[in-house]
Amino acid sequence: AKHKGKSSYAHFVPEMTEVSHDRLQMESRMRRALDQNEFELYFQPIVQTDTGALSSAEALIRWNSPSMGMVMPDRFIPLAEETGLIIPIGEWVLQEACHKAMKWREITGTNVGVSVNVSPRQFRDPNFSDIVLKALESSGLEAEYLELEITERLILDNTIETAEILKHLDQAGIRLSVDDFGTGYSALSYLKSYPFDTLKIDKSFVQDVLKEQDDASLVRAIINMAHSLGLRVIAEGVEEEAQTHFLQHEGCDYSQGYFYSRPVPEEAFEKWLRTNHR
């Protein structure tokens, strides 16, 4: 309510205090969480659309907080971004993800790639490239099996630095994908000038592909455009078998979603690997 005068002021202050108290508490819990090993990576398979064969897995962070239970990334990544804690957390994610990919290679006898989400604050940290290279080096994973997922929003935000960092990562052989494709302001020209390998079609388009003619047209157009630019396409949020038929028919390279598997903890992913791989 938009009251004026003293009464609303008196009402407003305690609310603000409460909000900032919550944030401070969350922040200090998050700081502790790294030391206490409370973060965990879940993994979701990314498969070839035509055969269903495993290609790689996306690492998705979870926070097992003793006081709050399992906390999903949407609830803490934004605050981690604001406070800068995303930089050490992101480094942990990179290290962990690269080491796990090496472990999957042992289990399957073939190469399984890993995709890692990168936040804007992390990406703009001057040490970002070094942190990525260090994770590859300490795990022994070759650059081509690491894919960094960068949102369209980040790419469109600041150009010169972004271009340089992307170029550097690309030259190191790391794969780069555009996450949530189609949800940004979509000035498509960046696709031409930046060294991306992959477009991930946002799940909001994929989910209604059988219900909405417009979404079907958009997905079809994105696949064709990506292919003519030499990019691979991943459809995310695939939940139903009928969607896989559509995506196969349209030549979408890779798929990811609950239809194949939800994101699962490490042990469950390894089990999935053992049973689905051969």
Task: List contacts with Ca ion (CB under 5 A).
Answer: 117, 149, 170, 179-180, 195, 197
Q: From the CB of residue 183, how many other CB atoms can be counted at a distance below 10 Å?
A: 15
Is residue 257 a contact residue for ligand C2E (CB under 6 A)?
Answer: yes
For residue 243, the partner it binds in Ca ion, ligand C2E, none, with Cβ less than 5 to 8 A by kind, is none
For CA atoms 270, 253, 203, 80, give the dihedral sign: positive
Site string for ligand C2E, 4-43 (x = CB under 6 A): ----------------------------------------
For residue 195, the partner it binds in ligand C2E, Ca ion, none, with Cβ less than 5 to 8 A by kind, is Ca ion
With contacts defined by CB under 6 A, name the span among 17-25, 55-63, 155-163, 241-249 that binds ligand C2E.
55-63
- Out of 263, 269, 272, 273, the only residue in the binding site for ligand C2E (CB under 6 A) is 263
- Out of 55, 56, 65, 117, the only residue in the binding site for ligand C2E (CB under 6 A) is 117
Q: Which residues pair with 56 in a beta bridge?
A: 46, 113
Distance CA 155, CA 161 (A): 10
CA-to-CA dists, residue 63 to 37, 89, 131, 184, 193, angstroms: 9, 11, 22, 27, 37
Phi–psi pair at 65, nearest 5 degrees: -90, 130
Name residues contacting ligand C2E, limited to 165-204 (CB under 6 A).
179-180, 203
In this complex, which beta carbon is closest to ligand C2E, that of residue 32 or of residue 262? 262
* 8 A C-beta contact, residue 184 and residue 153: yes
For residue 77, the partner it binds in ligand C2E, Ca ion, none, with Cβ less than 5 to 8 A by kind, is ligand C2E
* 8 A C-beta contact, residue 33 and residue 66: no
